[in-house]
Amino acid sequence: MKFEKLRLKNFQSYDQAAIEFEDGLTLVHGDNGAGKTTLIRAIYMALFQGQAKSEIGTGYELLDFIKDGEEEAEVELTFRYEGDPYTVTWVIAKQEGDDGPVGRTRSNRTTLSSPALDTEYSGPSDVRDVIEDLLDMDAEAYANSTYAQQARLTRLIEATDSQRESILDNLLGLDAPETYADRLGDVTSPIEDFQEDLQARRRQLSDEISDVDESELQSELQSLQETIGDLQEREGELDEAVADAQEQVQKLDQRIDEYREAKERQGELEDKIRDKKERIRELRGEIDDCQATINECEEVIERKRERLQELNEDVPEYDLTDESEAAEALNEFETAREEAAAAVERKAAAVDQARNEVSRLEEELDSHRDELRTACLDHKQKLDTVADARDEAEQAKDELSEREAERDEAAGEFLDTAISEVEDIGDAVDAKRESLDKRRQDLELEENELEQKQEQAETDIARIERELETAREERQTIRERLDTDVDDPETAFEEALSRADDLGDGFDIDVAPETLDSTLTGELPETRSEVLDELADAFDDELSGCIEQARAETRIEDLEALEGGEWPIDGGDIGATHDYSDALDDLRRVVEESEQATDSASKAQEDARSQLTTLDELTECLLTAASFRALAGVTADIEAYESELEERKRDRDELAEQLTGVREELDTVRQQLRTGESVAEAVERAEGAAEKLQNRREELHNAEEAADDVVEEISEAADAVGEKHDELSEAREELEGAIDDHEKAETTLESKEANERIADKAVECHESISDREGEKETQREAIETREGQIDDLQSDVASFQDDLTDAEEVTEGTSLDELQEQNAKAEKLRQQVETERANVREEIREKDRKQERVEQNLEDLRERRATIQSLDEKAEWAEDIENELTGVEATYEEVQTEMRNRVLGRLNKYANDIFGDLYQSESYNGLRIGEDYSLELIRADDTTRDPKKASGGESVLATIALRAAVYHVLADQHAEGGEGLPPLVLDEPTSHLDDTHVDQIEGVIENIQTWDVPQVIVVSHRNGLVHDAPHEIEVTKDEATDTSTLNPDYTSSHCDEAAGDD
């Protein structure tokens, strides 16, 4: 989860404010009371509304969040969850209450919207429910984990052990097994109520059937069955009479329908014949149009061929009446015309070029004459300059000799070697000074690094010894819990995990190292609950099948007795027999189906019990695997700590020896550097004199070369004037020849263009002829198509004529009125028979109702007896389920204990890592969170102290370490399970801390950002709490208007050392 944007209106000290949050760290700073904490409260209130108010403090009312003088306040927060944006708006308004103004949430304007939601939620309750589902935490959990409030920073320290247990279990998901156990308890209580209800129902049913006489019901049933048999025989006779009458009516109805259909068919066929003949006439007209188009095309083709003969006479070298030869001629003439045009352009360009060359040569001749005059004047000036340069060079030579003597004396002592053996004294002095200075810098850096390493080594040794002792205690605890000692816990972990994965395949549970915790607390309990539901369903199915089977078997026995002429109760003779074979077959099928259902339910019970056994094995494997993984991790940690401790001690001793040698050498180098500075000054003076002499010699040499160059320039200028005269004469002759060639090329181009036009017209004629030939072929094909269509239409007309003859035969010999009269007589007879049959059926239904009442009484009697048996079986089933649930509840307790041990191990490690970074003192070695959630500070002598009794600063450090450790565990869990973890918010974490510990906070914050946390927001009155924070927000307040403002672009390297609260 990431915060993206916050907008405030009339909220506490803000009129209008909007700010966008970036990824990573954001530092919110400003003076005390400027309104920094208000921003964080606004986020909290937007997420949880009224619930958040109680977490902020009992002294706050909703009215306090509305800016003085305003009627309502509004907060709008946009955050991103799993890639989707969500926007929540919370509005509170001032209203008049019984005791004065009060603040009320505006339900219709408190909304939550997102593309990921099916609808926009409105009202604080619905909005809060959705947000709590997304974050998997309520306002209290949020305040205990990701939102470290300034006023309630130490709540985890101040809480009792039981309160701390409740807070941490809820945050870290350790209460999941307990929740499942509570759900099992919710199931167990209804089962006990169910057992009591079964006993009461059994007593009631026994009382209800005690006074019922089954033999009287059987006699009444037999009399009714005989009467119903006689009536049913008469009903059968009437059914046959109705069927005969109905058949006669149907035949006459069919004859009338056939007559009407034949008449309708005659009209349709006559219309179709007319349509087909009309279409034949249209197609013949279209054929005439196609023939006219063909004649027109032939006339156009003849005219084009005559035009080709005329064009062919103008170009004797090609036969333009041939289409391919005309196209070839056009290509040849186009190429020739293009070549002639190109030649004209080339000749014109040659003329222009020749004219330009004549102009250029005339200008260059004038330029060379000017250069010759200038060179003669320059030569005289250069000879005067040479004389002055010789005098200055002699003076510089004398000064150089004096400076070199001073340099050699000083350099000889510094370099500790003969000057004659040094190739370049300046380079040698600089090289030695540079070498000495580099050595000094290296030694100073090495001295500083060695001092830091020595200090860090001592700190690391103390930290590693604490961590090593903690790891050894944890390893012993795990071994005692496993009650075994393994050489390779990694292999044991993989074997246990592999066994668990094999067992999980049957339940579609994918067991992997990274999902071990979520499987134990989520998938496994849910799967066990599903299997228990399946077991309960199977019990119900088996019981229902048994009851259904018992009922059917009882009825079979009764009907078999009646069929044999005996009473079902006492076997007495009833004086008649009946045929119940159909009913008996149905009942036997019911018995067979009930047996199959019972067998299937029994098999389902066996499968469910087998699955429960497998789930028990899977749970044991997962718990064992978790213990082996923890053992492997702590074993590796111990080896690493022991190796690191030995290495750090060796490093500490080596660092002390190195530091002594470095300091001695550094004193010597510094003295040599001071001597080298004076030598370098002498070298620099000598080099300046040498450079001056060199400059004077170069000036003399340059002056002499300049004078010689001027003599050469005079000679070159005279030669250039003569050459340009000759080049100009040749260029004028070339210009006259180019003009003659251009005129000839233009004459050739005109001839080529005329031939090209003639060939192009011939090609156009051939293309027109080809188009007309294609049109003729298209029209001929159209004529053939239409002639085929005419043949098909004529065939259709003949077929329709035959169908018309058949339809006329159907209507001959009778009329519609005659058929309808016969049908009315048959219908009257059918109605008379049906009336009599209806009377008989009504009498049968009356008797059936009486029989059903008697049968129902018998059925109720048998069902009550079967129900009593069912109640006994359900009571036994309920007792079995209650015993199984008791075993499952014990398993959940084991899972919760294992999860707590593992999470508490992480909490202790993370909390001590951070506490060690924060608490740079020898008073305390770390923190300890006990299995009973007790919290202790561990002194250097291994004695403990209640954090509540420590100093204010020490309590804050312990709180920060514990809160950061909780967030670290949450970050680990969310790295596997999703993006729901909100950003970490630290509100004034430096309260009650001295400067030394404040400086350590920055390191802790930087460490937190490495936990895959998208955002960290720190609120502090110290604007330099985090140096080079990537994002900073400055909060200021106008005391005159009591209004806060934001400056998101603020950056500063200054640190305000004042202390206090917002």
Res. 77 pLDDT band, cuts 50 70 90:
very high
Q: What are 475-482's contacts with CB under 8 Å, separation 24+?
A: 475/631, 475/634, 475/635, 475/638, 477/901, 478/627, 478/630, 478/631, 478/634, 479/631, 481/627, 481/901, 482/624, 482/627, 482/628, 482/631
Q: Please determine, for residue 645, whether its predicted confidence score (pLDDT) is greater than 50.
A: yes
Among 228, 297, 418, residue whose Cα is nearest residue 843: 228
d(CA 546, CA 529): 26
**Mean pLDDT in residue range 921-927:** 72
DSSP string, 290-301: HHHHHHHHHHHH
Q: Please determine, for residue 823, whether its predicted confidence score (pLDDT) is greater than 50.
A: yes
Structure tokens at 370: 């000017």
Residue 576 is predicted with a pLDDT of 55
Mention every residue, 6+ apart, whose C-beta is less than 8 A from residue 794. Answer: 276, 280
DSSP state of 946: -
Q: Please determine, for residue 875, whether its predicted confidence score (pLDDT) is greater than 80.
A: no
Residue 382 is predicted with a pLDDT of 73
pTM: 0.46
Q: Within its chain, how far is the Cα of 770 from the centroid? A: 65
Residue 284 is predicted with a pLDDT of 81
d(CA 450, CA 99): 71
Structure-derived torsion over alpha carbons of residues 925, 929, 935, 937, reported in degrees to the nearest 10:
0
d(CA 45, CA 360): 88
**Cα–Cα distances in Å, from 67 out to 72, 94, 102?**
8, 10, 13
Q: Which of the two residues, 89 and 398, has the higher pLDDT score? A: 89
d(CA 164, CA 158): 9
**Mean pLDDT in residue range 71-97:** 91
Among 562, 552, 563, 569, residue whose Cα is nearest residue 216: 569
Q: Please determine, for residue 302, whether its predicted confidence score (pLDDT) is greater than 50.
A: yes
- Is residue 95 within 8 A of residue 101, CB to CB? The reply is yes
Res. 3 pLDDT band, cuts 50 70 90:
very high
Residue 974 is predicted with a pLDDT of 65
* Per-residue pLDDT tens over the stretch 943-976: 888 887 777 777 777 778 787 888 787 777 665 4
At residue 881, φ and ψ (nearest 5 deg) are -65, -40
Q: Please determine, for residue 1062, whether its predicted confidence score (pLDDT) is greater than 60.
A: no
Residue 299: Cβ within 10 Å count: 9
Residue 11 is predicted with a pLDDT of 92
Structure tokens at 272: 């179709």
Residue 561 is predicted with a pLDDT of 67
- Is residue 545 within 8 A of residue 594, CB to CB? The reply is yes
**Mean pLDDT in residue range 414-432:** 78
**Cα–Cα distances in Å, from 686 out to 401, 402, 433, 699, 814?**
9, 8, 18, 20, 150
Q: Please determine, for residue 72, whether its predicted confidence score (pLDDT) is greater than 90.
A: yes
In 3-state terms the chain splits into helix, strand, coil percentages (rounded to 5) of: 75, 10, 15
- Is residue 106 within 8 A of residue 92, CB to CB? The reply is yes
d(CA 537, CA 603): 12
Residue 17 is predicted with a pLDDT of 92
DSSP bridge partners of 84: 81
d(CA 366, CA 376): 17
Structure tokens at 990: 């430096």
Res. 1052 pLDDT band, cuts 50 70 90:
very low
Structure tokens at 560: 């078999």
Compute the mean pLDDT over every residue in the chain, rounded to the nearest whole number. Answer: 79
What is the tally of helices (H) and strands (E) in the chain?
A: 16, 16
3-class DSSP state for residue 97? Answer: strand
Mention every residue, 6+ apart, whose C-beta is less than 8 A from residue 141. Answer: 167, 170, 171
- Is residue 123 within 8 A of residue 105, CB to CB? The reply is no
Q: Which helix (H) or strand (E) segment is 92 a member of?
A: strand 84-97
**Mean pLDDT in residue range 512-531:** 79
The residue whose two tokens read 């002498």 is 682
d(CA 477, CA 898): 12
d(CA 943, CA 1014): 39
Mention every residue, 6+ apart, whose C-beta is less than 8 A from residue 384. Answer: none
Instruction: Give the lowest-confidence range in 145-149, 664-668, 922-926, 965-969.
Output: 145-149
Residue 188 is predicted with a pLDDT of 63
Res. 158 pLDDT band, cuts 50 70 90:
confident
Q: Which amino acid is at 860?
A: D
Mention every residue, 6+ apart, whose C-beta is less than 8 A from residue 466. Answer: 912, 916, 925, 926, 938
Residue 59 is predicted with a pLDDT of 57
Residue 688 is predicted with a pLDDT of 82
* Per-residue pLDDT tens over the stretch 472-517: 888 888 777 777 777 788 888 888 888 888 888 888 888 888 777 7
Residue 572 is predicted with a pLDDT of 53
Q: Please determine, for residue 628, whether its predicted confidence score (pLDDT) is greater than 50.
A: yes
Res. 19 pLDDT band, cuts 50 70 90:
very high
DSSP bridge partners of 101: 96
Residue ranges of E strands in 930-1030: 935-939, 944-945, 984-987, 1015-1020
d(CA 499, CA 507): 14
Residue 76 is predicted with a pLDDT of 96
Q: Which amino acid is at 5?
A: K
**3-state DSSP of 155-193:** HHHHCCHHHHHHHHHHHCCCCHHHHHHHHHHHHHHHHHH
Percent of the chain clearing pLDDT 90 (strictly above): 5
Res. 826 pLDDT band, cuts 50 70 90:
confident
DSSP bridge partners of 196: none
Q: Which of the two residues, 704 and 332, has the higher pLDDT score? A: 332
Residue 78 is predicted with a pLDDT of 96
At residue 896, φ and ψ (nearest 5 deg) are -65, -40
At residue 66, φ and ψ (nearest 5 deg) are -95, 130
DSSP bridge partners of 2: 80
- Is residue 479 within 8 A of residue 635, CB to CB? The reply is no
At residue 940, φ and ψ (nearest 5 deg) are -65, -30
Percent of the chain clearing pLDDT 70 (strictly above): 88
* Per-residue pLDDT tens over the stretch 333-360: 788 778 878 887 887 888 788 778 878 8
**Mean pLDDT in residue range 902-929:** 76
DSSP state of 942: S
Q: Please determine, for residue 1057, whether its predicted confidence score (pLDDT) is greater than 60.
A: no
* Per-residue pLDDT tens over the stretch 886-912: 766 666 676 667 777 777 887 888 778
Residue 861 is predicted with a pLDDT of 75
Q: Which helix (H) or strand (E) segment is 802 a member of?
A: helix 581-811
3-class DSSP state for residue 98? Answer: coil
- Is residue 683 within 8 A of residue 413, CB to CB? The reply is no
d(CA 354, CA 255): 114
* Cα angle value 94/95/96 (rounded, 5°): 135
Structure tokens at 61: 């009312």
Residue 948 is predicted with a pLDDT of 79
Q: Please determine, for residue 18, whether its predicted confidence score (pLDDT) is greater than 50.
A: yes
Q: Which of the two residues, 705 and 889, has the higher pLDDT score? A: 705
Q: Which helix (H) or strand (E) segment is 7 a member of?
A: strand 2-11
Mention every residue, 6+ apart, whose C-beta is less than 8 A from residue 143. Answer: 44, 55, 149, 152, 155
Q: Please determine, for residue 300, whether its predicted confidence score (pLDDT) is greater than 80.
A: yes
**Mean pLDDT in residue range 556-577:** 61
Residue 148 is predicted with a pLDDT of 62
Q: Please determine, for residue 330, whether its predicted confidence score (pLDDT) is greater than 90.
A: no
Mention every residue, 6+ apart, whose C-beta is less than 8 A from residue 145. Answer: 137, 171, 963, 966, 967, 970
**Cα–Cα distances in Å, from 125 out to 50, 131, 132?**
9, 10, 11
DSSP bridge partners of 18: 7
